[in-house]
Structure 1
Amino acid sequence: MRRDDSDILSQHGPDAARQLLRSKFGFADFLPGQAEVIAAVLAGRDALAVMPTGSGKSLLYQLPAAAGPGLVVVASPLIALMRDQLRALADKGVPAVALHSAQEDDEAMAAIDAVSTGRARLLYVSPERLAQEGTQNLLRKNRVTLFAVDEAHCVSHWGHDFRPDYRELGEIARKLGAPVLAVTATAGPRTRADIARVLFAREPEIFLRSFARPNLALAFARKRPGVKQITAFIGRAQESGIVYCGSRRMADALAADLARQGVDALPYHAGLDAYTRAAHQDAFFERKGVVMVATIAFGMGVDKADVRFIVHADPPTSIEGYYQEIGRAGRDGAPARTLTLFTPRELALRWGAPEIDPENEAAAGAYARRRAMARLCVTPACRFQTLLAEFGEASAPCGACDHCRGGPLALGRRLGARLLGWRAAAESRLLRYSAAPVDEPPSDPAPAAAPLPDAVAPAAEPLRLTVDEMRLLRALESERAALARKYRIAARRIASDATLREIARGRPKRADDPLLADVMDARTFLRVIEKAEP
């Protein structure tokens, strides 16, 4: 927004904003934290709002759009998010449109016309579309009164490798001359600093709500064979929940095993066709007791109030990813529970510090988030207190996690967690200084570690690859070996053999494809895939 537009917006004082909240959005009053951020936005000030899931972050830019005049532009990471919010705004009578890659030409032209004629109050647009000169020219011809970045943690998490156009959003905002609002539920101190550095030309006002979720009970356990841990945790109450897996194959296998145990379980991942994904998502939202067994493809935009549990069959790759994923449970405020399964071997692979260029802030940040997640798995302290500390928030013990429950009986669990932490750290040192060649997976220094669960173990006979797929696999293995030599780490820390086979079969086109979620330096592997295209 040009600075003289702030006078237009600021005429909507607190009383006028509440009246608009009631008449247009149907809410009696603001939720905690909303009023302060909206007041800053209406006054034309830059703001970074970090607020937990369920606190109404989308209203922070939707109400200014409804107040008008002018156009509010929202950079949004996912098409599904845009569609969900467009449907909600249509019901409220707020004229909003979107621009993204999945649109037909006539739909995109209609959106452009709505912006050009001033009929649209709010435009959702992907960072990639915003980076196009034509989109920027369109916006410069219109009065942009606010530039908002939804799920702003993606600036830090995805902007370095997966979606580099995220790193250009701050420059785009400066070209438009608009105040900036960044909103997210998931940003620790390092990520907040990165967001502020990238998006804002001036120091933003930071609105930080507590990360505490007193209705969530956290639990962690060492992974055991089979699916009994998960079925016992799910129980027989026919509650909706999500089970997160590290790969597509694991999601398919675990969903099938849970279904055989009588659980209404459905898989969800990017490898399924669009019709199947949509049908499974509809079932999750409409049918009682559906358990979605998913990769991180089932993520942002999951707005179902009565999700009662979250299971991580594999530990998440970052502490912020973990917080965001467990935040999909208990959005109605009722009690919800979480379980994360891990092996010491998995933690050891994340624990050791790789050799990182001191100037490479992205790599340092990614490592810090991975290691924080590993620490949470084996902390002997209160789980939620430890989690909140990673976000820079001091708190008392939560009283609900597996280490807080059970009184004196919890002492054994805490001691066991500390021993597992020592073991993971020791294995990490063995892996780091292993005499095994760096382009070969090192032998397991701890054969007594718990095996992977039967339900998600790789098949004894992997699916046969085609000639082209085998050729790509060899190229990927060669690149992995080169990266391992470059970073002086074991090749499996770059990517596992199973992951490379999945990549060779799936040929992902984007670095944010779930197939590449646990791959170090995903963009390098994408270049190998592009070179191998027939």
Structure 2
Amino acid sequence: MVKVSPRLAAPSVDDARRALRETFGYEHFLPGQAEIVEAVLAGRDVLAVMPTGSGKSLLYQLPAAMRIGLVVVVSPLISLMHDQLRALAAAKLPAAALHSAEDDADYLRACEGVASGRVKLLYAAPERLAQEGALALLSRRRVALLAVDEAHCVSAWGHDFRPEYGRLREIADRLGAPPILAVTASAGPRTREDIAQKLFQREPQVFVRSFARANLALAFAERHDEFRQLTRFIAAQRGGSGVVYCGSRAKVDRLAQELRRFGLDALPYHAGLDGERRARHQDAFFARAGVVMVATIAFGMGVDKRDLRFVAHVDLPDSIEGYYQEIGRAGRDGAKARTLLLFERRELADRLAPEGRNDDASVEAERGRREAMARLCVTPGCRMQAMLAEFGEASAACGNCDHCRGLLAPVRRLHATALSLRLRANGRARALFERGETEAPEHEPELGTSWPPPATRDLAPLTVEEERLLGLLTAERKRLARARRLPPRKIASDEALRALARGPSDTGIEGVDDVDATTFTRIIETARQRK
């Protein structure tokens, strides 16, 4: 029999706003927060999917500050718990944590605080919460709200599935079936459906905020000289802080060292470093301007550096959900931020033409996530539009990614070959794809995006000065093409030349060969000096 949820006390949204101001110092809710808080205070089960930086933690911290009863927060990261405990101490909200890294004294203090009623907000790792001692302790004191942070960990379709999250529905039942608030920054339709089925006994009220980030400029590039591509990208950020994600610890250490030799303030971060060094590097990241954190995905969850200006990936992420969460750490202050992802054809080929199928649902889920990430690399249209579609959100072209800004280079050709590879998955298509050659598909299915992207068809007219620069660049492209016996578009696309004419300092020089980029930039600088 499904138990009926115990009703929370029914404070109003006006009470919540007063607590928001008095406890946390905020005058107003962020978009989407008030409606969710109202549903939580009414005792309803809630699934909230909100982008990184939209204030998810406040959704469970505020009810605790309103003294509705004990709020228990399930969190997968000890570092995240510590960060939030420090912030809550400053706000004078009694909170504690139960996890494997605490010593006996901390554990006893947390238990005593819960038993006495002094602690209003308890963070717990799912493994510790499942222990009989913790369940017995919490059963003796009514839990008013069970909050599940990083709720995508419940689902095998989520990008960071954690088996220990699978017991949370049973644990909620042991605690008297309190209302559940599940929050995550990255969950597509299938993941949301899976969370609702596996976590909730009652049908939850689902809130999904738009995943669009207008201030993020997405760019993808095929890897040909990783270090040079990366350093050029970082240099274009003019000393801003950023994160460079790598796929292995060894690569983190090597790349951080190379970037320091290059003159950048680069620090490594991964689970293989001792805790003291990780903490020291994280503190430096927040304290110093212009720090580049080179890291595995162990870095970032719960880290809130408002002025983070860029995120780069030098290895292909495992999923769009994970990628979105990682790039979402940039530009939280609302100012412009840029991203770069470098990929290799061989890895795309592996993901787009996998061998066989597997009856294991979790294996197929992983395969589907990896293939979706590969498709994003070869999409011929707006990057943001394609990414949002994976979250079930329809949108117009963003006008800000590498495609929308006209830097299309050989992407259409790459897409056609990748499409052929997916349709037939034969050896010839794969070999051509890996070598960078093309093989047109026999028939092209519905792609879901128009060609060329709307933003590239409807560019504003060039000014007289920009038309003059475009003429100079076109003439130089013709000269370079003739000298190399190549088609002019192999040197640079028309869209790339228009983007350069509009202002290379803003658009960057993606879509143009490295050597030619230097030549074109010199032409622009000379022409403008003579103006």
TM-score by length of 2: 0.78
Query: Which letter maps to 2:301?
Result: M
2:415 aligned with 1:418: yes
Indicate how the Cα distance of structure 1 residues 356 and 113 shifts in structure 2: closer, same or farther if over 3 A, else same. Answer: farther
Contact in 1 for aligned 2:98/2:107 (Cα 8 Å)? yes
> Hey, what does 1:477 align to over in structure 2?
none
Q: Secondary structure at the match of 1:28?
A: coil
Q: Deviations over 1:398-435 (max 9, x none)?
A: 000000003xxx454442442452476489643999xx
1:179 match: 179
Give matches, 1:198-347, under 5 Å. Answer: 198-235=198-235, 237-347=238-348
More displaced 10-residue stretch of structure 1: 137-146 or 276-285: 276-285
Residues 325-382 of structure 1 show CA distances to partners (whole Å, capped at 9, x for unaligned) of: 0001001110001000001101112223454444x33222222211110000010010
Post-superposition Cα deviations, 1:98-143, rounded to whole Å, max 9, x if no partner, equal 0000000010110011001111001000011111111111111111
Q: CA deviation at 1:280?
A: 1.2
1:385 pairs with 2:385? yes
- Which is higher, the Rg of structure 1 or of structure 2? 2
Contact 2:349 2:433 in 1 (8 A): no
How far 1:85 moved relative to its partner? 0.5
How is 1:97-176 mapped onto 2 (pairs within 5 angstroms)?
97-157=96-156, 163-176=162-175
User: Structure 1, residues 202-248: CA drift from partner, whole Å, max 9, x if none?
Assistant: 11000010000000000000001241100111116111000000101
Contact 1:99 / 1:123 at 8 angstroms: preserved in 2?
yes
After TM superposition, give the deviation of residue 267 of structure 1 in Å: 1.1
> Aligned residue for 1:53?
52
The separation in 1 between residues aligned to 2:252 and 2:157, in whole angstroms, is: 23
Distance 1:111 1:414 in 2: 56
Query: What is the CA–CA distance in structure 2 between the aligned matches of 1:161 and 1:91, rounded to whole Å?
Result: 31
Secondary structure at the counterpart of residue 206 of structure 1:
strand
SS of the residue 2:151 aligns to? coil
In the alignment, is the contact (CA less than 8 A) between 2:157 and 2:190 conserved in 1?
Answer: no
Corresponding residue for residue 515 of structure 1: none
Shift, 1:16, TM fit: 1.1
The verdict on how the C-alpha distance between 1:128 and 1:356 changes in structure 2, with shifts beyond 3 A counting, is: farther
For each residue in 1:55-88, what CA deviation from the matched residue of structure 2 results, as whole angstroms up to 9, or x when unmatched? Answer: 1100111111111232000000100000011111
Q: CA deviation at 1:384?
A: 0.1
SS at match of 2:256: helix
Q: Compute the displacement of 1:292 (Å).
A: 0.6
In 2, Cα distance between equivalents of 1:331 and 1:106: 37
**Offset at residue 254 of structure 1 (A):** 1.1
Please say if residues 158 and 187 of structure 2, whose CA atoms lie closer than 8 Å, have aligned partners that are also in contact: no
What is the CA–CA distance in structure 1 between the aligned matches of 2:411 and 2:433, rounded to whole Å? 22
| Unmatched tracts of structure 1, length 5 or more | 434-443, 451-534
Q: 1:158 to 1:364 in 2, by over 3 A?
A: closer
User: Which one-letter code corresponds to 1:20 in the other structure?
Assistant: A
Counterparts of 2:421 and 2:284 in 1: how far apart (Å)?
40
The answer to whether structure 1 residue 372 and structure 2 residue 369 are counterparts is no
Contact conserved, 1:345 with 1:427, CA < 8 A, in 2? no
Cα RMSD for the two superposed structures: 2.4
**2:65 is aligned with 1:66:** yes
Distance 1:162 1:415 in 2: 34
The one-letter code sitting in structure 2 at the alignment partner of 1:260 is: R
Number of residue pairs the alignment of both structures matches: 434
> TM-score, length-normalised on structure 1?
0.77
Q: Is the 8 A contact 1:220 1:341 kept in 2?
A: yes
Amino acid at match of 2:389: A
Q: Secondary structure at the match of 1:153?
A: helix
Matching residue's letter, 1:164? P
Per the TM alignment, residue 264 of structure 1 is displaced from its structure 2 partner at its CA by 1.2
Higher relative contact order structure (alpha carbons within 8 Å, sequence separation ≥ 6): 1
Change (3 A) 1:70 1:184: same
Which amino acid in 2 is paired with 1:319? I
Percent identity reads 60
